[in-house]
Structure 1
Amino acid sequence: MTIRRPLSLSEALYMRQGADTVLMAGGTDLMVKHRAPAGARPSFTKDVVLIGHLKELGYLKVYDDVARIGAAVPLAMIIQDASVPGYVKEPLMSIGSPSIRNMATLGGNICNSSPAGDSLTMLYALDAVLTIASAAGLRECAVSDFIEGPSKNRLAKDEILVEIAIPLMDYNRFFYRKAAQRRANAVSKVSFYGVAQVSEGRVGSVSMTLGAVAPTVVRDRAAEAMLIGAEADGRHGLSERALDHMDGLVVPIDDLRSTKAYRRRVALGLARHFLEEVVGL
Structure 2
Amino acid sequence: MNKLINFFDRSVKYVEPFLVLFAITLVLLDVYTFFKHVVPDILHHSGRAVAGAHVVWSMWLLFNVFWNQLHCTLTSPGNTLEVQEQALQSAMTYDWRWCRTCNRGKPPLAHHCSVCNKCVLKMDHHCVWMANCVGFYNYRFFVLFLFYMWVGSAYSAAVLWLHVPVMLRLSDPTWEQAGFLPFFMFVLSCSIWLAMCVLLGWHVWLVLTGQGTIDYLDNADRAAEARAAGRRWSNPYHLGLAANWQETFDVRGRWWWLTWMAPSRRRKLGNGYNLKKQQHGGAPPSGLMTLLRL
> Which TM-score tier does this pair reach, normalised by the shorter chain?
under 0.3
Structure 1 or 2: larger strand share? Answer: 1
Structure 1 or 2: larger helix share? Answer: 2
TM-score, with normalisation over the residues of structure 2? 0.22
Q: Which has the larger radius of gyration?
A: 2
